[in-house]
Amino acid sequence: MSSSTDIILIRVQPTPNPNALKFVLNVPVKIQGKATFSRPSEAVGIRVAEDLFMVDGVRQLHFFENVITVTYAEDTDVDTLQLEVKAILQTRMPTHDPNFLMEEERKQVDRSNLPPDIQRIEMILDETVRMHLQGDGGDIEVVKYENHRLEVRYQGACGTCPSSVGATLDAIQGILREQFDPELEVIPV
């Protein structure tokens, strides 16, 4: 946790998703892993996330390293949203614990329990795709792989981004076809 005398600096950046903004902080938001909150009930116990969901128009939150990506409704007043989000971050981050773990993080310490083909897919995504998605305030989760079909779930800003079902999906599929399975079909769920 930060001390109450720390000054919280916030830089707002656009994402490829026209309805999402990245709030880059000078303090950690999530030390290990990432967290996506798609509804207020998922944020219970994480005070900064609970409060951010009270901002009019907020639809999803994604916490990663020192970034909070806020995805909002199309008709949201973006200037008001930015002011309200910044105010919450200024007041809540000094007491926020960036070491919190999500339920799935508690269960999944490593990938060694995954089938070898999923481990290979995860490694390829780590080396080629994830850093770009995370840089844009999102990520991708492997849901299932069977019979040359890979089901994935976009997280954070990627979840509602128009390019995630077009160019981004094509790029991911192309990389995985080249490095893993030439017949692979990637399906967003």
pLDDT in tens, 1-22: 544 456 899 999 999 899 999 9
Report the pLDDT value the prediction gives residue 105, as an integer from 0 to 100.
62
Residue 166: give the domain boundaries.
110-188
Residues 6+ apart with CB under 8 A from 58: 52, 70, 71, 72, 81, 85
| Side chain identity at residue 104, one-letter code | E
Q: Does residue 68 sit within a domain? A: yes
pLDDT at residue 108 greater than cutoff 60: no
What does the pLDDT average to over 27-40?
91
Given 102, 125, 141, which residue is the final one in a domain?
102
Same domain, 16 and 93: yes
Residue 66 has pLDDT above 60, yes or no: yes
Question: Do both 63 and 85 map to the same domain?
Answer: yes
CATH number of 130's domain: 3.30.300.130
For 51-78, what is the mean pLDDT?
95
Q: What pLDDT does residue 104 have?
A: 65
Say yes or no: 36 and 96 in one domain: yes
Residues 94 and 44 grouped into a single domain: yes
Percent residues over pLDDT 70 in the chain: 92
In terms of domains, do 68 and 120 share one? no
- 29 domain residue, yes or no: yes
Q: Quote the radius of gyration of the chain (alpha carbons, Å).
A: 17
Are 87 and 46 part of one and the same domain? yes
Number of domains in the chain: 2
pLDDT of residue 106: 55
Query: Of 67, 102, 137, which one is at a domain's C-terminal end?
Result: 102
18: in domain = yes
**According to the model, what pLDDT value does residue 49 have?**
97
Say if residue 32's pLDDT is above 50: yes
H/E segment holding residue 69:
strand 67-72
pLDDT at 3: 45
Both tokens of 172, joined, read 């991911």
Q: Is 3 contained in some domain?
A: no
pLDDT of residue 86: 97
Residue 76 lies inside a defined structural domain of this protein: yes
158 and 175 in a single domain? The answer is yes
As a whole number of angstroms, the distance between CA 99 and CA 122 comes to: 24
Q: What percent of the chain has pLDDT over 90?
A: 59
* Cβ neighbours of residue 99 closer than 8 Å, sequence gap 6 or more: 31, 32
Is residue 133 domain-shared with residue 96, that is, in the same domain?
A: no
